[in-house]
Amino acid sequence: MADLIRLDVAQRVSLADLPTRPPGSWDRGDGEKETDHLGAELDDLLDLLFYAGQTGLLIVLQGMDTSGKDGTIRHLLSHSNAQSVRVAPFKVPTPLELAHDFLWRVHAQIPARGSIAIFNRSHYEDVLVVRVRGLAPEAVWSRRYDHIRALESLLADSGTVVLKFFLHISKDEQERRLLDREKEVEKAWKLSVGDWKERERWDDYQRAYEDALGRTADSRAPWFVVPADDKRFRDLVVTRAIVEALRPLAPGWRASLAELGAEAKAELEAYRRGGAEG
């Protein structure tokens, strides 16, 4: 498959120049095999992360309506031990949340070391929908990029791996998916006039995403721009990005677990000797 599109430093981003589709060379059959393979590795890595208890993992999922956030979560959950993972959806803020700074509800959901949180939408909505729909003045939302960088830097300093995914779909693909929802009775609950209305602001959202990604990309909290028109390819890219970020940490986790194991063994042996002598 093609290289991951990983944004590691603040930069100008032009989403129109970044692909929403897999490269022409991509083969769906081979891709699914690769996803399964990486998924198995992900499962092992998340287990290690859980038992070693040294590192937290925060996965942020953002994207336009119908870009596949729910589907990505289902895919990730199918490759992880449920006891270590929590999904946190960020919907319209409650009155109590609105009475606090915008990061208050977010900080509360940050995973502990040894835990994993998947954010379905996130603090980025406060520089996306809030900006596009004018829910706060520019003087307010324009300061939020720095606040976000500060929080993510705190998390990185505290042993949390932060990986942010923008599920990049084309405007045509969104139209297809919205029309599909209208046709399928079992998806009708996901449908609202609001989705079509939001679509009218497509270009504004793309601009807002470009600023959000460009201004908060950091080597310790990178953004991945995921070509998401094809759901199988999207799952492959997300899985690969997470596996590649965690793989280098695994030796450290294994060493710490080996140490714990050796201590437990020594304690057990001492107990048995004591029992024999006592």
The site for a copy of itself (CB under 8 A) is made up of: 53, 56, 96, 99-104, 107-108, 110, 112-115, 140, 143, 147, 150-151, 153-155, 157-158, 160
- Closer to a copy of itself at the Cβ: 40 or 154? 154
- Terminal Cα distance for the chain, rounded: 64
Shortest reach from residue 99's CB to a copy of itself, in Å: 4
Would you say 56 or 214 has its CB closer to a copy of itself? Answer: 56
Cα-based distances in Å from 204 to 18, 178, 233: 17, 19, 26
Contact 182, 137 (CB under 8 A): no
Q: Side chain identity at 187, as an amino acid letter?
A: K
Q: How far apart are CA 46 and CA 111, in angstroms?
A: 13
Comparing CB distances to a copy of itself, the nearer of 26 and 104 is 104
CB of 165 to a copy of itself, least distance (A): 22
Closer by beta carbon to a copy of itself, 48 or else 155: 155
H or E element at residue 36: helix 28-52
Shortest Å distance, C-beta 147 to a copy of itself? 5
d(CA 152, CA 221): 7
Q: Which is nearer to a copy of itself, 150 or 258 (CB)?
A: 150
CB 225 to a copy of itself: min, Å: 27
Please state the separation of Cα 40 from the chain's center in Å. 18
Tell the smallest beta-carbon distance from residue 146 to a copy of itself (Å). 8
